[in-house]
Amino acid sequence: MEMAAKRNAAASEELWMHPQHQSDAARDPTTAPPPLRRPMVWGAAPPLRSAAPQQQQQHALTPSPPNSPSPTEGSVPAGQPLPPSSARRGTTPQQILRAFVSDNPWDTLHAQPALAVVGGTTALSMISAYILQNHVLDTHDHLGVFLFGSYLIFSSYFMVYYFLERFSTSFRKISQDKKFYTIGNLLKAGVLVSITPFAVYNLMLVLVYDTWESNTLRNLGCIYAIPDFVSMVVVRRMAWTTWLHHICVCLFNYFSIHNDYAQENVCRLIVVYACFSTFAYCVNMLLASRFLGVSAQVSRVLSFVALCVYVFCCAVNWVWQAHYLRRLIHENDHWTIYLYMTLICFVMWDDIVLNRWLLQNARNTHGGILAGGRQHQDGGAVARGAAGPRRGIRGACC
């Protein structure tokens, strides 16, 4: 009985789709066959009953071939018509789904491989920092440390890329630019996490006890500048503000490795700014989490923490910078002070762009816009326009 029903349905579908039968019926009404019922196909959309053009009605009444996926599969539930807005714009369901998935964090990078990358990078960076702190403290080949570390991070980009391409199916769905952007933020977050304890310790020595350990500060400055230097080589799309930011960081690092921090000079401002910027690893995690598939609750907490930490660090840092600049100008009005003030403005502007994006992102997630996808769309627009995450968020912090 079941096989006979299938054969009858196939014959009815064939007769329904045959154009010659319809033309014969139009020429000879007396020989017209009885009206045919549309065969029921599982997952096919019901006929449109609204007053629509004839072409749309024929398209709606055309049955789907057996064993073929619905064109709206994954975007619109089976048996439900498409939204009228998409029909008015003339956009196909595939284009709607593609445009949504391309910027949707839930269909991109899985959290487990990403956390493995961050954890591995953090562990390796902490081991390297520990060895540097305890066994290479008296080295004066800081440029060699910078070049060797740059090679390690550059190689890590492709090792992480291979790892995620093989073990994360969602990683293969995002574009090539987003892949390296995400990897860059994950690697930088791991590097910054690894040097955060050393930055806190040396920042306490500097601000409280006025003790400046030159070799340690030079080495930490080299480690801090490595991700920015490598990202300029690997990451393609980057905002001009972020490019200037990274260039200034590399220049500051060059001056830092030739500076004696025991004497009062403008390089002290550089190392303090770098120490406060080290705490921005949570911001890098937030920027990468747009492709991590985290829940709305986790994203909301991460957005709030990143905003509070970064705003607080920037405020304290800028107040101390202004205080120490006033002191240097009063005691020694040197031309390097004004050069530093010019270059640091580019870094501060990039930080302002990032703070504005963090504030907007926190408002969106707090309002529940993340559930509808608008939060990520707004963040991507800022990243593409100003950036990127600065991104300017797209290329920032990367």
pLDDT in tens, the chain (398 residues): 555 555 555 555 444 444 444 444 444 444 445 554 544 444 444 444 444 444 444 444 444 444 444 433 344 444 444 444 443 444 444 443 333 333 343 344 556 666 776 677 677 767 766 776 676 556 778 888 899 889 989 999 999 899 888 877 767 888 888 888 888 888 998 889 888 888 999 999 999 999 999 988 998 899 999 999 999 999 887 778 888 999 999 999 999 998 999 999 999 999 999 999 999 888 888 887 776 666 677 778 888 889 999 999 999 999 999 999 999 999 888 899 999 999 999 999 999 999 998 998 888 876 654 344 444 444 444 333 333 433 444 445 56
- For 121, the token pair is 């990078």
- For 5, the token pair is 């029903």
Residue position matching structure tokens 């009858």: 8
CA torsion angle 346 351 357 359 (round to 10): -140
Instruction: Look at residues 14, 37, 35 and name the one whose alpha carbon lies nearest to residue 25.
Output: 35
Residue position matching structure tokens 């080290």: 278
- For 174, the token pair is 């995002």
Cα dihedral sign, 310-315-320-325? positive
CB 272 within 8 A of CB 173: no
| Residue 247, CB-side half-sphere exposure with 13 Å CA sphere | 10
- For 117, the token pair is 């990358």
Instruction: Look at residues 64, 62, 63, 82 and name the one whose alpha carbon lies nearest to residue 72.
Output: 82
**Helices and strands in the chain: count of H runs, count of E runs:** 15, 0
Cα dihedral sign, 227-229-231-233? negative
Query: What DSSP string runs through 250-265?
Result: HHHHHHHTT--TTS-S
CA torsion angle 284 285 286 288 (round to 10): 90
CB 194 within 8 A of CB 125: yes
How far is 117 from 156, CA to CA, in rounded Å? 10
Residue position matching structure tokens 């403008």: 266
How far is 308 from 282, CA to CA, in rounded Å? 10
Contacts 24+ apart (CB under 8 A), 65-71: 66/41, 69/43, 70/43, 70/44, 70/45
Left (φ > 0), alpha (ψ -120 to 50) or beta: where does 68 sit? beta
Query: What DSSP string runs through 43-109?
Result: TPPPPP-SS--HHHHHHHHSPPPTT---TTTTTS-TT-PPPHHHHHHT--HHHHHHHHHTT-GGGS-
CB 220 within 8 A of CB 198: yes
Output the pTM of the full model: 0.63
CB 318 within 8 A of CB 366: no
